[in-house]
Amino acid sequence: MTGPHTAPAATSPPAVVVLDVNETLSDMAPLAVRFAELGASPLLAATWFAALLRDGFALAAAGASAPFAQIGAEVLRTLLDGEDLDRGLDDAVDHVMSGFVELDVHPDVPDGLRALSAAGLRVVTLSNGSASVARRLLTRAGVAQHLEMMLSVEDAGVWKPAPGAYAHAAGRCGVDVADLMLVAVHPWDVDGAARAGLRTAWVNRTGSAYPAHFRRPDVEVASLGQLAERLRSRPPGRG
Amino acid sequence: MTGPHTAPAATSPPAVVVLDVNETLSDMAPLAVRFAELGASPLLAATWFAALLRDGFALAAAGASAPFAQIGAEVLRTLLDGEDLDRGLDDAVDHVMSGFVELDVHPDVPDGLRALSAAGLRVVTLSNGSASVARRLLTRAGVAQHLEMMLSVEDAGVWKPAPGAYAHAAGRCGVDVADLMLVAVHPWDVDGAARAGLRTAWVNRTGSAYPAHFRRPDVEVASLGQLAERLRSRPPGRG
């Protein structure tokens, strides 16, 4: 209502951009190769990650929490048990879990982070995984310096999408939740953040449909670079 | 401590046995066939069900809720979009969802329910799905008369494993949560029930390992019939 409509619509920038890490920054496609290297179907990678989150969210719904890597390894063990693998179960679990910590970022991430930083925005990460995995990922990509902090729900005591996880980020950033914008590829993260009072951006690299059971994002973009553009181009009269 | 150790150990019966429905009573194996009939990999069935629960639990962790069938159809649509299917996306979603409501019970379920009933136990179901799906499943199996009630979290406003779902069952049964025994194949259900104050039994038909991140069940059995035996054989001096 502040000026003529332009596409893409301008969005006033938040105080802090809060980036999810797994799959939002990291490209998890190589994990499917790890499963194939074991002699298992590469399709198990998607089952594994969905089941990992399922168990972590179950604990969050029940008011409890466990480390991401611990749940990941346990779920993997259950999933691979009984598969016809080329090595023992312990080695197979290690092979996938070590692949997880060696992932690289999506191609749009380095320039996107530079653009967000160049726009003068504070940028942090908030992961259900450990801060060390995020640090390693972004250091390998040569862009760790654009992040003010790398936060983990391990310090919140509860996983996203429980509201306490987002409140933890707000507290560490010294701002209100309404001054944060959560950025994620996962609709469940967008939904939880929206319910917790944050603004939200959905990164949809694959042209997916957004599930009707979740609150819609304030902003939808195809890349982090596009997000930076949207947050840089302030509405007329507000810059 | 009330008598010599016997195997299997006797377990004092609860006031009410609360049975999970999906996968605990119903055999979901035919769903893999439905995916194959579409031209998709049968392995997608496991991914679909894990992602369905993931999204439902995400809403529970965020303090919200949506109907099981709605989430199921939405997740399915995302999963099947882009697959090389033998029919349109709407028809493909319908094909799997209609298969879901036509599942049959596991072979051990009819005799197991009769044995629980014959032991004088009150038996109810508590599902994250609708009560009508449970009723149809158990009516087809000819054992609906052994169930005192078929409960759904739809009337609780929150899914298992959030504590409110189990408290709802206790309220409807007119007993304390400690007088309920939750029976499920899913460790996340056992864990949530245990944290909510219920006693728990894990039905492990496949010889799986129990995940370390979840609270262990009070009782582990391979079938519902075995559960009935355990609950019928009271400790010496207590019968």
Which of B58, B81, B187 faces A57 most closely, judged by CB atoms?
B58
Same domain, A63 and A113: no
Longest CA pairwise span in chain A (Å): 64
Q: Among B100, B132, B151, which residue terminates a domain? A: B100
Structure tokens at B111: 């005799």
> Looking at residue B31, what is its pLDDT?
97
Cross-chain CB nearest to B211 (options A63, A74, A195): A74
- Long-range contacts: A36-39, Cβ < 8 Å, 24+? A37/A86, A37/A95, A38/A80, A38/A83, A38/A85, A38/A86, A38/A87, A38/A92, A38/A95, A38/A96, A39/A83, A39/A84, A39/A85, A39/A86
Positions in chain A whose pLDDT score sits under 50: 1-7, 235-239
What CATH number is associated with residue A177?
3.40.50.1000
To the nearest whole Å, the CA of B89 is away from the closest chain A CA by 13
Query: Hunting for tokens 């980036």 — which residue is that?
Result: A19
Residue B4 within a domain: no
Q: Within a domain: residue B204? A: yes
| Nearest chain A residue to B158, by CA | A61
Q: Which residues contact B85 (CB under 8 A, 6 or more apart)?
A: B38, B39, B40, B92
Check which CATH number belongs to the domain holding A88 and give it: 1.10.150.240
Closest by Cβ to B208, choosing from A62, A78, A196: A78
Q: Is residue B228 part of a domain?
A: yes
Min Cα distance B163 → chain A (Å) is 6
Q: Do A40 and A116 share a domain, yes or no?
A: no
B91 & B140 share domain: no
Q: How many CB atoms within 10 Å of residue A11?
A: 20
> What DSSP designation does B212 have?
T
pLDDT per residue as tens digits for the range A137-159:
999 999 999 999 999 999 999 99
CA distance B69 to A27: 31
What is the domain range of residue A45?
Answer: 29-100
Token pair of A67, please? 């480390």
Q: Which of B178, B174, B170, B171 is nearest to B194 (CA)?
A: B178
For residue B2, being part of any structural domain is answered with no
Is B112 found in the same domain as B90? Answer: no
Test the B interface: residue of A185, A213, A214, A215 with most B CBs within 10 Å:
A213
pLDDT tens for chain B, 239 residues: list them: 344 444 455 578 999 999 999 999 999 999 999 999 999 999 999 999 999 999 999 999 999 999 999 999 999 999 999 899 999 999 999 999 999 999 999 999 999 999 999 999 999 999 999 999 999 999 999 999 999 999 999 999 999 999 999 999 999 999 999 999 999 999 999 999 999 999 999 999 999 999 999 999 999 999 999 999 999 865 444 43
Which three-class secondary structure state does DSSP give residue B14? coil
With CB atoms and an 8 Å threshold, state whether B54 touches A59. Answer: no
Q: What is the CATH number of the domain that holds B80?
A: 1.10.150
Q: Which amino acid makes up residue B211?
A: P
Query: Which of A172, A156, A162 lies closest to A124 in space, CA to CA?
Result: A172
Instruction: Give me A233's structure tokens.
Output: 């181009």
Classify residue A9: in a domain, yes or no. no
Decide if A4 is inside a domain.
no
Examine the domain organization and report whether A210 and A145 are in the same domain: yes
Residue at A2 is within a domain: no
The residue out of B58, B73, B100 marking a domain boundary is: B100
Instruction: Indicate whether B189 and B133 sit together in one domain.
Output: yes
Q: Which two tokens stand for residue A26?
A: 């990291």
Q: What is the pLDDT of residue B2?
A: 40
Residues in chain B within 8 Å Cβ distance of A57: 54, 57-58, 60-61
Count interface pairs A-B at CB distance under 8 A: 128
> Same domain for B116 and B197?
yes
The pLDDT score that the predictor gives to residue A30 is: 97
Q: Last residue of a domain, which of A79, A100, A121?
A: A100
Residues B116 and B165 in one domain: yes
Q: Is residue A8 part of a domain?
A: no
pTM as predicted: 0.94
Say if residue B65 is in the same domain as residue B170. Answer: no
**Quick one: closest CA in A to B208, which residue?**
A78
Residue B12 pLDDT: 83
User: Do B126 and B151 fall within a single domain?
Assistant: yes
Token pair 């990941």 is found at: A72
* A76 and A173 assigned to the same domain: no
How many separate domains does chain B show?
2
The verdict on A56 and A135 lying in the same domain is: no
Burial (0-12, 13-18, 19+ Cβ within 10 Å), B7: exposed
Q: Which of A57, A71, A81, A200 to mutate to test the interface with B (most CBs of B within 10 A)?
A: A57
How close A114 comes to chain B (CA, Å)? Answer: 31
Taking the C-alpha atoms of residue A83 and residue B67, their distance in angstroms, rounded to an integer, is 33
